[in-house]
Amino acid sequence: MTTPTVYTFFEKATSTWQYVVVDHSTSNAVVVDPVLDYDPNSGTIHTKTADGLVSFIEHNQLRVTRILETHAHADHLTAAQYLKQQLNGDILVCIGQRITVVQKTFAPIYGLDYHSLENLFDVYFNDNEEFDLGFLRCNVMHLPGHTPDHVGYVIGKAVFTGDSIFNPDVGSARADFPGGDAEKLYESMQRLLALPEDYRLYVGHDYPQNRDQTCFATVADQRVKNQHVKLGTPPSDFIQFRKQRDAVLGAPRLLHPALQVNIRAGRLPSPDEHGRIFLRIPVQADLVL
């Protein structure tokens, strides 16, 4: 089977794997889950990571046709709009169709009108939708559980799983965000394990304890080694484990900036009349002060 060349870029601050996936016969490329840098202490956005991707793409004279988001990330900001601005050509920013569910959930949390979030992405993929990358056929897999909008992208024998599965010793992602569901995550992981055994599952993050960062494991390896869901793991075991683990996890460090930018497809809120940009922090308090 024809398969793409996959270039991998690890972003250390949020342990995110970014991918540039290339059909070499045409030099057409897609970028999966690019990162926009954000320093929460100073509220500063910068583009060092994304500029690295731009340099690579320009140096190799690649023609980027799409930016593929696996989901609305809660732990990093997407550089989709920045890359679209910086790179030449018509570039489509793509995500799964259920991003609208996530936008409807988070719009009121951040005091936004949902209608202001409509049509901000260029493509809202249906489940199993197909598209071309040069001469390669790509397939969109709905992989809910971590988030309801989550999709994976199957391009040849390479599968970009986002946070639907992690490397075998890391296992799985949390399933406690709004619309998250441990049972659905189990089912999504089983669907990934049912792919042909030589397919590579490229993960959205890696959090190794005692090894270097790795970007993929084969389906064969995941089936026998995934420490949370391997072949034969009963759903009830995973669901119980996941719920217990998630109950003690803190909120992601960049939760609020990430979601407010990511549900806008990588745009910032409009500046005020002085050119200032603000992000909101919802506060829970049973007090009136």
Would you say 73 or 256 has its CB closer to Fe ion? Answer: 73
Would you say 37 or 149 has its CB closer to Fe ion? Answer: 149
Give how many residues touch Fe ion by CB under 5 A: 2
Binding mask 45-74 for Fe ion (x = CB under 5 A): ----------------------------x-
CB of 252 to Fe ion, least distance (A): 8
CB of 100 to Fe ion, least distance (A): 18
Residue 15 near residue 22 (C-beta atoms within 8 A): no
Binding mask 200-219 for Fe ion (x = CB under 5 A): --------------------
Residue 31 near residue 84 (C-beta atoms within 8 A): no
Query: Which residues between 116 and 145 bind Fe ion (CB under 5 A)?
Result: none
Distance CA 44, CA 46 (A): 6
| Six token digits for residue 179 | 């619309």
Would you say 73 or 264 has its CB closer to Fe ion? Answer: 73
CB of 200 to Fe ion, least distance (A): 20
CB of 70 to Fe ion, least distance (A): 8
CB of 99 to Fe ion, least distance (A): 13
Positions of E strands within 73-150:
77-78, 92-96, 123-125, 130-133, 136-142
Query: Which residues between 253 and 282 bind Fe ion (CB under 5 A)?
Result: none
Residue 107 buriedness (CB in 10 A; 0-12 / 13-18 / 19+): middle
Q: Is 149 in the site for Fe ion (CB under 5 A)?
A: no
Query: Which residues between 72 and 111 bind Fe ion (CB under 5 A)?
Result: 73
Distance CA 44, CA 29 (A): 30
Residue 131 near residue 138 (C-beta atoms within 8 A): yes
CB-side neighbour CA atoms (13 Å) of 72? 33
Query: Which residues between 153 and 172 bind Fe ion (CB under 5 A)?
Result: 163
| Six token digits for residue 267 | 């745009």
Q: Which chain residues interact with Fe ion by CB under 5 A?
A: 73, 163
